[in-house]
Protein backbone atom coordinates (compact mmCIF):
# COMPACT_ATOMS: atom_id res chain seq x y z
CA UNK A 1 0.00 0.00 0.00
CA UNK A 2 1.33 3.41 -1.00
CA UNK A 3 0.04 6.91 -0.44
CA UNK A 4 0.26 10.52 -1.55
CA UNK A 5 -0.84 13.82 -0.06
CA UNK A 6 -2.98 16.24 -2.05
CA UNK A 7 -2.89 20.02 -2.21
CA UNK A 8 -5.16 20.33 0.85
CA UNK A 9 -2.99 18.02 2.95
CA UNK A 10 -5.28 14.99 2.73
CA UNK A 11 -3.44 11.69 2.57
CA UNK A 12 -4.79 9.26 -0.02
CA UNK A 13 -4.10 5.53 0.05
CA UNK A 14 -3.32 3.59 -3.09
CA UNK A 15 -4.25 0.02 -2.23
CA UNK A 16 -4.66 -2.15 -5.30
CA UNK A 17 -6.62 -5.21 -4.31
CA UNK A 18 -9.39 -7.20 -5.97
CA UNK A 19 -12.09 -4.76 -4.88
CA UNK A 20 -10.16 -1.74 -6.10
CA UNK A 21 -9.36 -3.37 -9.43
CA UNK A 22 -13.03 -4.23 -9.97
CA UNK A 23 -14.03 -0.67 -9.16
CA UNK A 24 -11.51 0.74 -11.67
CA UNK A 25 -12.86 -1.62 -14.32
CA UNK A 26 -16.49 -0.78 -13.52
CA UNK A 27 -15.91 2.99 -13.53
CA UNK A 28 -13.44 3.29 -16.40
CA UNK A 29 -13.75 0.10 -18.40
CA UNK A 30 -10.04 -0.65 -18.05
CA UNK A 31 -8.55 -3.75 -16.52
CA UNK A 32 -5.44 -2.93 -14.50
CA UNK A 33 -4.65 -6.65 -14.25
CA UNK A 34 -3.77 -6.49 -17.95
CA UNK A 35 -1.43 -3.49 -18.16
CA UNK A 36 0.27 -4.84 -21.27
CA UNK A 37 -2.95 -5.32 -23.23
CA UNK A 38 -3.85 -3.16 -26.20
CA UNK A 39 -7.46 -2.05 -26.65
CA UNK A 40 -9.13 -2.24 -30.06
CA UNK A 41 -7.82 0.51 -32.29
CA UNK A 42 -5.08 1.47 -29.82
CA UNK A 43 -1.40 1.36 -30.67
CA UNK A 44 -0.26 1.70 -27.05
CA UNK A 45 -0.80 -0.81 -24.26
CA UNK A 46 -2.71 0.18 -21.13
CA UNK A 47 0.41 1.03 -19.12
CA UNK A 48 1.66 3.31 -21.92
CA UNK A 49 -1.77 4.96 -22.21
CA UNK A 50 -1.91 5.65 -18.48
CA UNK A 51 1.69 6.92 -18.48
CA UNK A 52 1.06 9.24 -21.42
CA UNK A 53 -2.38 10.59 -20.56
CA UNK A 54 -2.57 12.80 -17.47
CA UNK A 55 -6.37 12.97 -17.51
CA UNK A 56 -6.67 9.19 -17.71
CA UNK A 57 -4.25 8.96 -14.78
CA UNK A 58 -6.41 11.35 -12.75
CA UNK A 59 -9.46 9.21 -13.57
CA UNK A 60 -7.63 6.05 -12.51
CA UNK A 61 -6.55 7.72 -9.27
CA UNK A 62 -10.14 8.81 -8.66
CA UNK A 63 -11.46 5.29 -9.22
CA UNK A 64 -8.86 3.92 -6.80
CA UNK A 65 -9.52 6.57 -4.15
CA UNK A 66 -13.27 7.05 -4.64
CA UNK A 67 -14.31 4.99 -1.60
CA UNK A 68 -11.98 6.99 0.65
CA UNK A 69 -13.20 10.22 -1.00
CA UNK A 70 -16.81 9.26 -0.39
CA UNK A 71 -16.04 8.86 3.31
CA UNK A 72 -14.60 12.38 3.30
CA UNK A 73 -17.55 13.81 1.30
CA UNK A 74 -15.22 14.69 -1.60
CA UNK A 75 -16.63 14.34 -5.10
CA UNK A 76 -14.69 13.66 -8.30
CA UNK A 77 -14.42 17.36 -9.20
CA UNK A 78 -13.04 18.31 -5.78
CA UNK A 79 -10.63 15.38 -5.90
CA UNK A 80 -9.30 16.49 -9.29
CA UNK A 81 -9.01 20.09 -8.08
CA UNK A 82 -6.71 18.93 -5.29
CA UNK A 83 -4.31 17.32 -7.78
CA UNK A 84 -1.84 19.96 -8.93
CA UNK A 85 1.00 18.94 -11.24
CA UNK A 86 3.35 18.05 -8.40
CA UNK A 87 0.66 16.08 -6.60
CA UNK A 88 -0.18 14.17 -9.79
CA UNK A 89 3.49 13.25 -10.12
CA UNK A 90 3.61 11.92 -6.54
CA UNK A 91 0.26 10.16 -6.89
CA UNK A 92 1.42 8.58 -10.15
CA UNK A 93 4.56 7.27 -8.46
CA UNK A 94 2.45 5.79 -5.64
CA UNK A 95 0.13 4.19 -8.22
CA UNK A 96 2.96 2.61 -10.23
CA UNK A 97 4.70 1.43 -7.03
CA UNK A 98 1.53 -0.24 -5.80
CA UNK A 99 0.73 -1.77 -9.20
CA UNK A 100 4.28 -3.11 -9.44
CA UNK A 101 4.01 -4.58 -5.91
CA UNK A 102 0.62 -6.09 -6.79
CA UNK A 103 2.11 -8.05 -9.70
CA UNK A 104 5.18 -8.99 -7.70
CA UNK A 105 2.93 -10.42 -4.95
CA UNK A 106 0.78 -12.10 -7.60
CA UNK A 107 3.85 -14.00 -8.78
CA UNK A 108 4.18 -12.16 -12.07
CA UNK A 109 7.62 -10.56 -11.78
CA UNK A 110 7.84 -10.02 -15.55
CA UNK A 111 4.83 -7.69 -15.45
CA UNK A 112 6.25 -5.99 -12.35
CA UNK A 113 9.48 -5.44 -14.28
CA UNK A 114 7.64 -3.85 -17.22
CA UNK A 115 5.91 -1.48 -14.79
CA UNK A 116 9.32 -0.60 -13.32
CA UNK A 117 10.50 0.15 -16.87
CA UNK A 118 7.49 2.44 -17.43
CA UNK A 119 8.47 4.30 -14.27
CA UNK A 120 12.06 4.64 -15.46
CA UNK A 121 10.96 5.98 -18.84
CA UNK A 122 8.79 8.58 -17.08
CA UNK A 123 11.71 9.60 -14.85
CA UNK A 124 14.01 9.86 -17.87
CA UNK A 125 11.53 12.03 -19.77
CA UNK A 126 11.00 14.24 -16.72
CA UNK A 127 14.74 14.62 -16.15
CA UNK A 128 15.32 15.44 -19.82
CA UNK A 129 12.62 18.10 -19.81
CA UNK A 130 13.89 19.58 -16.54
CA UNK A 131 17.45 19.52 -17.88
CA UNK A 132 16.40 21.55 -20.91
CA UNK A 133 14.55 24.19 -18.90
CA UNK A 134 17.56 26.51 -18.34
CA UNK A 135 18.26 26.50 -22.10
CA UNK A 136 14.60 27.10 -22.91
CA UNK A 137 14.37 29.90 -20.34
CA UNK A 138 17.53 31.57 -21.72
CA UNK A 139 16.24 31.30 -25.28
CA UNK A 140 12.85 32.71 -24.32
CA UNK A 141 14.49 35.53 -22.36
CA UNK A 142 16.65 36.39 -25.38
CA UNK A 143 13.65 36.41 -27.71
CA UNK A 144 11.58 38.53 -25.33
CA UNK A 145 14.46 41.00 -24.87
CA UNK A 146 14.89 41.32 -28.66
CA UNK A 147 11.16 41.84 -29.13
CA UNK A 148 11.02 44.52 -26.42
CA UNK A 149 14.06 46.32 -27.88
CA UNK A 150 12.59 46.16 -31.38
CA UNK A 151 9.22 47.49 -30.22
CA UNK A 152 11.00 50.22 -28.23
CA UNK A 153 12.90 51.31 -31.32
CA UNK A 154 9.71 51.38 -33.38
CA UNK A 155 7.92 53.45 -30.73
CA UNK A 156 10.83 55.89 -30.52
CA UNK A 157 10.86 56.27 -34.32
CA UNK A 158 7.10 56.93 -34.33
CA UNK A 159 7.44 59.50 -31.54
CA UNK A 160 10.29 61.19 -33.38
CA UNK A 161 8.19 61.42 -36.54
CA UNK A 162 5.17 62.67 -34.64
CA UNK A 163 7.00 65.37 -32.74
CA UNK A 164 9.54 66.29 -35.38
CA UNK A 165 12.30 65.80 -32.85
CA UNK A 166 15.32 63.61 -33.06
CA UNK A 167 16.08 61.22 -30.29
CA UNK A 168 18.14 62.74 -27.51
CA UNK A 169 17.98 66.31 -28.97
CA UNK A 170 15.54 68.95 -28.04
CA UNK A 171 14.55 71.69 -30.41
CA UNK A 172 14.01 75.02 -28.90
CA UNK A 173 12.60 77.87 -30.87
CA UNK A 174 14.46 81.15 -30.51
CA UNK A 175 12.32 84.02 -29.39
CA UNK A 176 11.54 86.20 -32.27
* pLDDT tens for each residue of 8-53: 999 999 999 999 999 999 999 999 988 888 877 777 888 888 888 9
pTM attached to this predicted model: 0.66
The C-alpha angle 12, 14, 15, rounded to 5 degrees, equals 130
User: Helix, strand, coil shares of the chain as percentages rounded to 5?
Assistant: 65, 5, 30
- For the chain, list residues with pLDDT below 70: 122-123, 125-134, 136-137, 141, 165-176
Amino acid sequence: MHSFTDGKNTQWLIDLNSSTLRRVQALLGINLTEPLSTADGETKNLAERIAGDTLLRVDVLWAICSVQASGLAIDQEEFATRLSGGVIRLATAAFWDDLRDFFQDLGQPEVAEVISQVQEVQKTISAAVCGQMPKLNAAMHGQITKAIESEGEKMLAELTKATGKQSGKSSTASPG
